Amino acid sequence: MRIIQASYIIPLNAAPIKNGFLFIEDDGTVIHLTDIAPISHDFEVEVYDGIVCPGFVNTHCHLELSNMKDLMPEATGLPEFVSQIPTRRNECILDSVASIISGDKEMIAAGIVAVGDISNTTDTLEVKKLSVIKYHSFVEIFGLDKNQATTLLADGLKVVGDYQRAELSASLVPHAPYSLSPALLEGIYFNSKDQLLSIHHQETPSENEMFLESKGDLADLFRGKGLDISSQMGFGENSSHYSLLPYLPKEQKVLLVHNTCSEASDIEQIESHFENAYWCTCPKANWYIERALPDYDLWLEKNLKITVGTDSLASNDTLSILEEIKLIQTNFPHISTETLLEWACKNGAAFFGYSKLGSFTAGNKPGIILIENIDGMMLTENSKVKVLV
Ligand SMILES: [Zn+2]
């Protein structure tokens, strides 16, 4: 048994405890939490200066893009970013496998215990098999040519099968509303019934422009490339009406990633349709690509189930959930660290159905991390993670 004492313990199943004591088994299983010092001196108390909380759940990553670090220019906006990916990818000098291994290690050191990872290929499979991180692979497909839907679907399902045969959790998901034909969306949802779904959603103003007004940079980009956007043009409603609402029942769990441009009416439509919509934010990637952040005050007002992701090293310089929530608190200092940790730990675990992660409920084995260099309960520029278990 170990006894951990910290300036603050934020358990996420109860209120934070100042100078609390966390009793755990040697393997990290939570026994109990108290503000009363232990009477027996049989065990030495480990005393830490900082916040002790459960391990982080990163709900959106693209581990296979780890070798694209420092390649993509910042602040281009998403359409330009998307258009540059294929050529820049060919310029990668970093080894793909070595970068994936180092991305996995970086996340472990950053206190991340579970990851929802967008995977277009099986490039990350071997690393995931050996990692202590619990991975779910969202096998992502896209394609605007409806004649290609059957082939793309078969290719995606083969990748899902490869992960599952390796005893890794995986499900087939769409990339984004603007990059799929209705035939492909229908095929994915038919094959992913009751499984975990994720979609990049309302990440750029031009996604809204494309669906609502049939114009904008994204529409121009695709038109320029000769892609078939006839289903999106003249649509006249927002992208969730195109990609989600007509296909999915209310009980389907969905993870909407980014939502940087979601307005109150967009949020209300989703929330009134789905019982279990989760809103994933990747603030550092939004800042990197669009120089924009979501309206978290609106998200809080709408009482959304918010989760946090790092996105990939193509649009971020770290794979650290702490760095993501530090950026949020810098810009929204009225959002408490406890609330941010709820997003970063507990809500992500709830989305994946990982009942033993995300809080210090007795019997859980959520990973235990220390956040050092805090100011009261606030994060600072110098806050960093130390993994305790
Ligand atoms: Zn992404």
| Domain boundary assignment for the chain | 1-54+358-389, 56-357
Å from CA of 9 to ligand 1 middle: 32
d(CA 77, CA 81): 6
Q: Mean of the per-residue pLDDT values for the chain?
A: 97
User: Do the first three CATH levels of 1-54+358-389 and 56-357 match, i.e. the same topology?
Assistant: no
Distance 312 CA to ligand 1 centre (A): 7
Residue corresponding to tokens 């990747």: 282
Beta bridge partners of 329: none
Q: To 5 degrees, how large is the angle CA 220–CA 221–CA 227?
A: 95
Q: Which of these, 139, 243, 145, lies nearest to 191 by C-alpha position? A: 139
pLDDT digits (tens, 9 = 90+) for 82-91: 999 888 888 8
**CATH numeric code, 1-54+358-389:** 2.30.40.10
pLDDT surpassing 90 at residue 42: no
Supply the pLDDT for residue 207: 96
Distance CA 51, CA 42 (A): 25
Cβ(172)–Cβ(188) below 8 Å: yes
- Local confidence band at 41 (pLDDT 50, 70, 90 cut-offs): confident
Given 3.20.20.140, 3.20.20.70, 3.40.50.300, 3.40.980.10, which CATH number is that of 56-357? 3.20.20.140
What distance in angstroms lies between residue 291's CA and the mean position of ligand 1's atoms?
A: 16
Residue with tokens 């990163």: 58
Distance 61 CA to ligand 1 centre (A): 6
CA 142 – ligand 1 centroid, Å: 13
What DSSP element (H or E) covers 243? Answer: helix 239-243
pLDDT tens digit string along 302-340?
999 999 999 999 999 999 999 999 999 999 999 999 999
pLDDT tens sequence across 70-119: 999 999 999 999 999 888 888 888 899 999 999 999 999 999 999 999 99
- Cβ distance 243 to 270 under 8 Å? no
Sheet holding 169-174, edge to edge: 56-61, 112-119, 134-141, 169-174
Is residue 22's pLDDT more than 90? yes
CA of 188 to the centre of ligand 1 (A): 18
Bridge partners of 111, per DSSP, are none
Cα 176 to averaged position of ligand 1 atoms, centre (Å) = 9
Q: How far apart are CA 273 and CA 387, in angstroms?
A: 39
* The pLDDT value given to residue 253: 97
pLDDT at 319: 98
Ligand 1 mean position, distance from CA 230 (Å): 25
- What is the distance between the alpha carbons of residues 116 and 349, in angstroms, rounded to a whole number? 10
Q: How far is the CA of 41 from the centre of ligand 1 (A)?
A: 50
Mean predicted confidence (pLDDT) in 216-225: 95
Residues, beta carbon < 5 Å, ion ligand 1: 311
